[in-house]
Structure 1
Amino acid sequence: MHDATVIGNRLRTLRKWRGLTLVELAGMAGMSKTHLSDIERGLKALDRRSYVASLSTALRVSEADLVGGPHLTQDPVQAGPHSTVPQMRIALQTNTLTEPATDRAREVGILTAEVKQLEDVFARCDYVTLGSRLPGIIDELHFHAARPQNEAAQRDSLTALVEACMYATFRMKDLGYGDLAHQAATRAEEAARLLGDPVALGKAAYCRIQTMPREAGWDRKLTAARRAADTLQPHVRSAEGTAVLGMLILTSALAAAVAYRLDDARDGLAEARDLANYIDDDPCRNWSAFSITNVGAWGVALAVESGESGGAVLEKARIVDESLLLGRPSRRATFLADVGRGLAREQKTAKGALGWMLRAEGVAPQRIRNSPQVREAVAVMIQRSKVAASGRELRGLAARMGIPH
Structure 2
Amino acid sequence: MYDEATIGARLRALRRWRGMTLDQLAGQAGLSKSFLSRAERGHRALDRRSHISALARVLRVSETDLVGAPHLTTDPAQAEPHTTVPAIRAALTTNTLTAPVADRARPLPELVAEVVRIDRQNHLVEVGRELPAVIDELHVHACAPADEAAHRVALEALIEAFQRAVFTSKDLGYSDLAHIAAMRAAEVAGILDTPVTTGKAASLRIHTMPTTTRELSLTAAEDAADALEPHVHDDLGVQVLGMLTLAAALMATVLYKYDRAEHWLDQAAELAACTADDPGGNWGAFSLTNVGVWKVSLATERGESGRALLDVAKAVDEEKLIPRRGRHATFLADVGRGLAREPRSQRDAMQWLRRAEAVAPHKIRNSMPVRETVGAMLARAADAAGGRELRGMAARMGVPH
Q: In which range does the TM-score fall when normalised by the shorter chain?
A: over 0.9
Q: Deviations over 1:58-88 (max 9, x none)?
A: 1121111011111310111000000000111
Q: Secondary structure at the match of 1:136?
A: helix
1:134 to 2:134 alignment: no
Native 8 Å contact 1:4 1:71 kept in 2: no
Letter in 1 for 2:216: R
Structure 1 residue runs of 4 or more that deviate by more than 6 Å after TM superposition: none
Aligned to 2:372: 376
Native 8 Å contact 1:88 1:134 kept in 2: yes
Q: Secondary structure at the match of 1:308?
A: coil
Letter in 1 for 2:167: F
User: For residues 312 and 250 of structure 1, what CA distance do their matches in structure 2 show?
Assistant: 21
Report the identity percentage: 57
Aligned to 2:320: 324
1:388 to 2:384 alignment: yes
1:171 to 2:168 alignment: yes
Aligned to 1:25: 25
Native 8 Å contact 2:4 2:398 kept in 1: yes
Once the 2 structures are TM-superposed, how far is the Cα of residue 347 of structure 1 from its aligned partner? 1.0
Greater mean alpha carbon deviation, residues 236-245 or residues 254-263: 236-245
Letter in 2 for 1:43: H
Q: Deviations over 1:249-273 (max 9, x none)?
A: 0110011111000100111111111
Letter in 2 for 1:161: L
Letter in 1 for 2:194: D
Once the 2 structures are TM-superposed, how far is the Cα of residue 94 of structure 1 from its aligned partner? 0.5
User: For residues 308 and 189 of structure 1, what CA distance do their matches in structure 2 show?
Assistant: 35
Native 8 Å contact 1:300 1:338 kept in 2: yes
Once the 2 structures are TM-superposed, how far is the Cα of residue 177 of structure 1 from its aligned partner? 0.7
User: For residues 57 and 261 of structure 2, what CA distance do their matches in structure 1 show?
Assistant: 23
Native 8 Å contact 1:50 1:258 kept in 2: yes
User: For residues 136 and 377 of structure 1, what CA distance do their matches in structure 2 show?
Assistant: 36
Count the aligned residue pairs: 401
Aligned to 1:55: 55
User: For residues 386 and 268 of structure 1, what CA distance do their matches in structure 2 show?
Assistant: 41
Q: Deviations over 1:225-258 (max 9, x none)?
A: 1111111111111112111111110110011111
Aligned to 1:187: 184
Aligned to 2:397: 401
Aligned to 2:38: 38
User: For residues 275 and 257 of structure 1, what CA distance do their matches in structure 2 show?
Assistant: 20
Q: Where do residues 192-341 of structure 1 align in structure 2 (5 Å cutoff)?
A: 192-216=189-213, 218-341=214-337
Letter in 1 for 2:11: L
Once the 2 structures are TM-superposed, how far is the Cα of residue 197 of structure 1 from its aligned partner? 2.4
Greater mean alpha carbon deviation, residues 2-11 or residues 67-76: 2-11
Question: What TM-score comes out, normalization by structure 1 length?
Answer: 0.97
Aligned to 2:15: 15
Q: Deviations over 1:262-288 (max 9, x none)?
A: 100111111111111111212122111
Q: Deviations over 1:314-346 (max 9, x none)?
A: 111111111111121111111001101111111
Gaps in structure 1 of 5+ consecutive residues? none
Letter in 1 for 2:46: L
User: For residues 111 and 130 of structure 1, what CA distance do their matches in structure 2 show?
Assistant: 14
Q: Secondary structure at the match of 1:367?
A: helix
User: For residues 368 and 183 of structure 1, what CA distance do their matches in structure 2 show?
Assistant: 24
User: For residues 18 and 25 of structure 1, what CA distance do their matches in structure 2 show?
Assistant: 10
Native 8 Å contact 1:336 1:360 kept in 2: yes
Letter in 2 for 1:369: R
Aligned to 1:104: 104
Q: Secondary structure at the match of 1:172?
A: helix
Once the 2 structures are TM-superposed, how far is the Cα of residue 106 of structure 1 from its aligned partner? 2.1
In the alignment, which of 337, 344, 347 is matched to residue 351 of structure 1? 347
Once the 2 structures are TM-superposed, how far is the Cα of residue 185 of structure 1 from its aligned partner? 0.8
Native 8 Å contact 2:2 2:398 kept in 1: no
Letter in 1 for 2:91: A
Greater mean alpha carbon deviation, residues 284-293 or residues 159-168: 284-293
| CA RMSD, 1 decimal | 1.1
Aligned to 1:70: 70
Gaps in structure 2 of 5+ consecutive residues? none
User: For residues 70 and 232 of structure 2, what CA distance do their matches in structure 1 show?
Assistant: 38
User: For residues 2 and 97 of structure 2, what CA distance do their matches in structure 1 show?
Assistant: 34
In the alignment, which of 134, 144, 148 is matched to residue 147 of structure 1? 144
Q: Secondary structure at the match of 1:260?
A: coil
User: For residues 316 and 340 of structure 1, what CA distance do their matches in structure 2 show?
Assistant: 13
User: For residues 253 and 231 of structure 2, what CA distance do their matches in structure 1 show?
Assistant: 27
Question: What TM-score comes out, normalization by structure 2 length?
Answer: 0.98
Once the 2 structures are TM-superposed, how far is the Cα of residue 312 of structure 1 from its aligned partner? 1.4
User: For residues 280 and 58 of structure 1, what CA distance do their matches in structure 2 show?
Assistant: 44
Once the 2 structures are TM-superposed, how far is the Cα of residue 2 of structure 1 from its aligned partner? 4.6
User: For residues 119 and 167 of structure 1, what CA distance do their matches in structure 2 show?
Assistant: 6
Once the 2 structures are TM-superposed, how far is the Cα of residue 401 of structure 1 from its aligned partner? 0.2
Q: Deviations over 1:151-208 (max 9, x none)?
A: 1111111011010010001000110111111111111111122112221221111111
